[in-house]
Structure 1
Amino acid sequence: MGASLDGRLVVAISSRALFDFEEENRVFETGDDRAYMRLQLERLDVPAPPGVAFSLVRKLLAFNTEGRPRVEVVILSRNDPASGLRVFRSARHYGLAIERGAFTRGASPWRYLKPLRAHLFLSTDESDVRSALAAGVPAARVLPEAAHASAAHPDEVRIAFDGDAVLFSDEAEQVFQRDGLVAFQAHEAQRAATPLPAGPFKPLLEALHRLQQDPDAPLRVRTALVTARSAPAHERAVRTLIDWQIGVDEALFLGGLPKGEFLREFEPDFFFDDQTGHVQSAAAHVPAGHVAAGVANAG
Structure 2
Amino acid sequence: MAVTLDNKLVVAISSRALFNFEEENALFESGEAKAYMELQLQRLDLPARPGIAFSLIKKLLAFNEPDAQRVEVVILSRNDPVSGMRIFRSGLANEIKLQRGVFTQGRPPFRYLKPLGAHLFLSANAEDVREALAAGFPAARVLTESVLAGSNYPHEVRIAFDGDAVLFSDEAERVYQDQGLDAFQQHESSKAAMPLPEGPFKPLLAALHRLQQAGTPQMRIRTALVTARSAPAHERAIRTLMQWDIHVDEAMFLGGLPKGEFLKEFEPDFFFDDQTGHVNHAARHVPSGHVASGISNASP
* Structure 2 length-normalised TM: 0.99
1:137 aligns to what? 137
**Residue-by-residue CA offset, 1:244-273 (whole Å, 9 max, x unaligned):** 000100000000000000000000000000
CA apart distance, 1:212: 1.5
Matched, 1:250 2:244: no
Counterpart Cα distance in 1 of 2:212 and 2:238: 19
2:119 aligns to what? 119
Counterpart Cα distance in 1 of 2:244 and 2:254: 23
Detail structure 1 runs of 4+ shifted over 3 Å in the superposition. none
Contact 1:211 1:217 in 2 (8 A): no
Matched, 1:167 2:167: yes
Pairing of 1:1-299 with structure 2 (within 5 A)? 1-214=1-214, 216-299=216-299
Counterpart Cα distance in 1 of 2:36 and 2:217: 41
CA apart distance, 1:155: 0.3
Output the amino acid matched with 1:20: N
Contact 1:121 1:132 in 2 (8 A): yes
Contact 2:226 2:251 in 1 (8 A): yes
Contact 1:164 1:199 in 2 (8 A): yes
CA apart distance, 1:2: 1.6
**Residue-by-residue CA offset, 1:189-219 (whole Å, 9 max, x unaligned):** 0000000000000000001101121254531
Counterpart Cα distance in 2 of 1:3 and 1:217: 27
Counterpart Cα distance in 1 of 2:29 and 2:95: 30
SS in 2 for 1:34: helix
SS in 2 for 1:97: coil
Contact 1:8 1:69 in 2 (8 A): yes
The alignment yields a C-alpha RMSD, in angstroms, of 0.7
User: How many pairs are equivalent?
Assistant: 299
Counterpart Cα distance in 2 of 1:21 and 1:231: 43
Output the amino acid matched with 1:3: V
Identity value in percent: 70
SS in 1 for 2:225: strand
CA apart distance, 1:67: 1.2
SS in 2 for 1:189: helix
Counterpart Cα distance in 1 of 2:217 and 2:154: 14
Contact 2:279 2:289 in 1 (8 A): yes
Counterpart Cα distance in 2 of 1:272 and 1:111: 22
Output the amino acid matched with 1:172: A
Counterpart Cα distance in 1 of 2:74 and 2:209: 21
SS in 2 for 1:46: coil
SS in 2 for 1:115: helix
Contact 2:63 2:215 in 1 (8 A): no
Output the amino acid matched with 1:251: A
Counterpart Cα distance in 2 of 1:257 and 1:97: 39
Gaps of 5+ in 2: none
CA apart distance, 1:32: 1.5
